[in-house]
Amino acid sequence: MAKAIKQGKVEAVKSHLSSPWASFVAILVAVLWTIPTFGLFVTSLRPQTGINSSGWWTVLTKPEFTLENYSRVLFEGRGATPPLSQYFVNTFAIVIPSTIIPITIAIFAAYAIAWFDFKGRNFIFFGIFALQVIPLQMSLIPLLQLFSGGLHIGSVTVIPSFGITGTFIPIWLAHTMFGLPLAIFLLHNFIAQLPRELMEAARVDGADYFKLFRQIVLPLSIPAIASFAIFQFLWVWNDLLVALTFGGGKREIAPLMVRLAEMTGTRGGDWELLTAGAFVSILVPVAVFFALQRYFVRGLLAGSVKG
Amino acid sequence: MLELAARQSQLEQAASKLTGLVITVIVFAIVVSLAFYLAERTSERVQRSVKYLLFLAPALIFLFIGLIAPAIRTLYLSFRDARGDNFVGLENYIWAFTQPEILQILRNTGIWMVVAPIASTALGLTIAVLTDRMKRPGLVKSLIFMPMAISFVGAGIIWKFVYQFQPNDRVAEIGLLSQIAEWLGFVPTNWILTAPLNTFLLIVVFVWIQTGFAMVILSAAIKAIPEEILEASMLDGASGWKRFGKVTVPMIRGTIIVVLSTITIGALKVFDIIRTMTGGNFKTSVIANEMYNQSFRALNYGTGSALAIILFLGVIPLVAYNVMHLRRERSER
């Protein structure tokens, strides 16, 4: 009886809390938030003459659409500049290794820090967490020098240059290094919470540290891995600074973002190309985001600090 | 005919890059599996040390080469001249704090650090509270959150188009802001060129992206407030506003501060928006952009490094706060 009354009160509180006014304002804000992107999308589908002579909102009264902007920006190069489809391929070539490599290294390290018994593991954990303090700007110059010239002390070559400048390799390595602190931190939080009994039972069964990792830790960590993978994927896909610095301005390896930033400078008035290009670059991350929103939010809530 | 050949070569290039990508991934997988396979087959005694080599060493090596050593070297370079050949003492720092252009940049960065986090957090909190009172907030939240998936470069283009100004009076405005100004009876100007207004217009882009972030985190915090507390305040007859000020905000104070400091760090390091929308011209530049220009345009590693260090010093207190908060939260659990 008392419980029923309490239940009734909770219901009353809840129904009082949900107000139509709040809904109305929230929906209004959401519409407002979407208008700029919607305007870009509409513009990308309009013919060039229309874009430059009337606002995109006029399509409501006189609709006129074309896919020509997309075919032009994607497949027509200009002189030495390849079309956007090439940059799209480059983005893929950068994103996939830049996501796989740091995750692999991070999950190994997270496992070691969480479950190996050794002196200084707390120090290492907080050290790695503290590394998120370092803004990546602090690393750009020395890393670039290292990749292009190797490391020399006096006349002794400690690390040769390997001649990797102008390939994707410096970009992969840079993204791996910059992504590691957050990756280790997030994955460690997850792995450290695996039930101790489970791990110890497996140890008694004779499973060594390697088997334990393969048979228990890795399969159970899939949700945490997914969270971080989405993070890193979006971060690398949307990155401009790292690609700009370590790509050295070479067109053969430049990703979409580098080209788009360049286009706004050199072809700032060609809105038919800019809008179509921007929309192409937005499409994949937004699709990933909507498909895997739940994992993304989980990752965000687990650790919202990135250096 | 020529076009066909061009497309052919494009296709070939793309194919060769993708093949390279697949090979890289396969080689990486093979190397990792092989190392694992071999390590697993060693004797128990060897495994005791090999496990550190395989699991821990790669991460530590990467972190050392990628972050620790470069940070120390950047500090060293900030006391040296353009090519790092000679010691110049504090000259680069004195330069940063006396040059009028750099002072302008520091001031802009200051505006970013104050306005952007407060605006994003306030908006995010408002929307979080509003959606908390909705029956089906899913779509609304997704739409406001969506800009988080859009790059700063993409957002820069989206908003540059909103701010587009038509200097020719006889041609209709195509930028939404100019059109709205016209509808409201104002004369639109070339927004992006007008300092100091333009800095605030760039901040709008950042806020547009970060509000979703603030909303998601704060929304989760609001959901975590125990039902009983809200109920009690309801039964005490607290009105909506009072409940918000006296119950909701104090209960999520810690989260609000973490959100503020996280967004402040982002604002301090903002680069892409400036690069895409103004290129740092028209008095809109910020530290991260100038650091890039000094280092990789002017090729002055000394001044570039000094700016990076200034950025670092700005970030420290904020991250330190976040770390402290995290530790406290952990010990409470």
Write the CATH number of the domain with boundaries B94-332.
Answer: 1.10.3720.10
Distances A81 to A86, A200, B33, B109 between C-alpha atoms, Å: 10, 59, 40, 34
Question: pLDDT tens digits for chain B (333 residues)?
Answer: 566 777 788 888 899 999 999 999 999 999 999 998 998 888 888 888 888 989 999 999 999 999 999 999 999 999 999 998 999 999 999 999 999 999 999 999 999 999 999 999 999 999 999 998 888 888 999 999 999 999 999 999 999 999 999 888 788 899 999 999 999 999 889 999 998 999 999 999 999 999 999 999 999 999 888 888 878 887 887 777 788 888 889 989 888 988 998 899 899 999 999 999 999 999 999 999 999 999 999 999 999 999 999 999 998 888 777 777 767 766 665
Here the tokens at position B242 are 């009072």
Q: How confident is the model at residue A76 (pLDDT cuts 50, 70, 90)?
A: confident
Q: pLDDT at residue A307 above 50?
A: no
Better-predicted residue by pLDDT, A305 or A205: A205
| % of chain A beyond a pLDDT of 70 | 92
- Which of A75, A93, A286 lies closest to B20 in CB terms? A93
Q: How confident is the model at residue A117 (pLDDT cuts 50, 70, 90)?
A: confident
Choose among A109, A139, A305: nearest Cβ to B56. Answer: A109
Q: Any CB–CB contact under 8 A between A283 and chain B?
A: no
Residues 6+ apart with CB under 8 A from B55: A108, A109, A111, A112, A116, A209, A213
Q: Name chain A contacts of B269, Cβ cutoff 8 Å.
A: 135, 137
Does B179 contact A57 at a Cβ distance shorter than 8 Å? Answer: yes
Query: 124-183 in A: which are within 8 Å (CB) of B?
Result: 124, 128-135, 137-143, 146, 168, 173-174, 176-178, 180-181
Residue B207 tokens, joined: 């806020």
| Calpha distance B55→B68 (Å, rounded) | 20
Most confident of A3-7, A263-267, B276-280, B324-328: B276-280
Question: What is the Cα–Cα distance from A49 to B115, expressed in whole angstroms?
Answer: 38
> Which residues of chain B are within 8 Å of residue A237 when distances are taken between CB atoms?
151
- The two beta strands, A156-159 and A151-153, are antiparallel
Residue B174: closest CA among chain A residues belongs to which residue? A55
CB contact under 8 A, B272 and A56: no
pLDDT in the model for residue A110: 95
Task: Provide the mean pLDDT of chain A.
Answer: 87
CB-count exposure of residue A140 (10 Å: 0-12, 13-18, 19+):
buried
Which pLDDT does position A1 carry in this prediction? Answer: 46
Where does the pLDDT of residue A148 fall: very low under 50, low under 70, confident under 90, or very high at 90 and above? confident
Across the interface, whether the CB atoms of B67 and A297 are under 8 A apart is answered no
Q: What is the pLDDT of residue B176?
A: 94
Residues A56, A43: Cα–Cα separation, whole Å: 6
- The pLDDT of residue A211 is above 80: yes
CA B62/CA B75 separation, integer angstroms: 19
Greater confidence (A134 vs B264) lies with: B264
Q: Could you state, in order of their start, the residue ranges of all structural domains in chain A?
A: 19-66, 84-302
Q: Where are the alpha helices (DSSP H) in B152-196?
A: 152-162, 176-183
Q: Verify whether the Cβ–Cβ distance A108 to B279 is below 8 Å.
A: no
Contact B162 A241 (CB under 8 A): no
Q: How far apart are CA B325 and CA B321, in angstroms?
A: 6
Specify the CATH number of the domain A84-302. 1.10.3720.10
Has residue A10 got a pLDDT over 70?
A: no
Question: Hey, is A200 helix, strand or coil?
Answer: helix
The Cα of A199 is separated from the nearest Cα of chain B by a number of Å equal to: 17
Of A16-30, A164-178, B50-64, the one with minimum mean pLDDT is: A16-30
Lowest model confidence (mean pLDDT) among A9-13, A236-240, B239-243, B295-299: A9-13
Q: How do the domains of chain B map onto residue ranges?
A: 2-92, 94-332
User: Which residues in B lie closer than 8 A to residue A131 (C-beta atoms)?
Assistant: 63, 67-68
Please check whether residue B190 touches A, CB under 8 A: no
